[in-house]
Amino acid sequence: MHDSHDFDQDDDQLVSKSQLKREAEAQQALGKKLVDLPAGKLEKIPLDEALLDAIQLAQRIRNKREGFRRQLQHIGKMMRNRDTAPIEQALFELENAHHEQNALFHQLEKQRDAILAEGDSAIQDFLEDYPQADRQKLRQLYRQAQKQQQQGKPPAAARELFKYLREVTSA
């Protein structure tokens, strides 16, 4: 007869069908993310040649519905035989870089809007954070933007101010 200890060990080694299905779907979803990446970003992901070829094929047959679906399943199956941790890490870093870029863009927009609204005090605040910036250029762009706004002209100077802020902060 079996004692209860043997049954507990068997239960630990068995994985339910639903768990296997969830894992397979997760691998397929990861494969779909890879297929959706543009070529430039795909190059930054550590992929072996066979997996890269399968992803590129899926990208080419995207408009063939059934073939595309089967290719995604094939990629998911290929992913199950690989260590996906480096792939997931590289994808995370790519997505995170995009979010950081958006946050920086929004911060620059706020700084530009503050300069346009407050003038010299906001320019001084910006110069405290970025002493390499040119005070004269900032004040000149501010005055041009004010003049354009009063005359009802397109905000060319405001756009120029944004470009200059981006240039200074990325240096």
Distances in Å between the Cα of 119 and the Cα atoms of 67, 110, 138 are 59, 13, 9
Terminal CA-CA length for the chain: 75
Does residue 140 surpass a pLDDT of 90? yes
> Rg of the chain's alpha carbons, rounded to an integer?
27
**Biggest CA-to-CA distance, the chain:** 95
Question: What's the pLDDT at 13?
Answer: 61
Give the E-state strand segments of 3-107 in sequence order.
none
Question: What's the pLDDT at 109?
Answer: 92
Q: What is the pTM of this model?
A: 0.50
| Pairwise pLDDT comparison (28 vs 5), residue with the higher score | 28
Mean of per-residue pLDDT scores for the chain: 86
Question: pLDDT (tens digit, 9 = 90+) per residue, 46-55?
Answer: 989 999 999 9
Q: What is the DSSP letter of 45?
A: S
Question: pLDDT (tens digit, 9 = 90+) per residue, 34-85?
Answer: 999 888 888 888 989 999 999 999 999 988 889 999 998 999 889 888 888 8
The amino acid present at 97, given as its one-letter code, is: A
165 neighbors 109 (Cβ within 8 angstroms): no
Ramachandran region, residue 133 (left: φ > 0; alpha: ψ -120 to 50; beta: rest):
beta
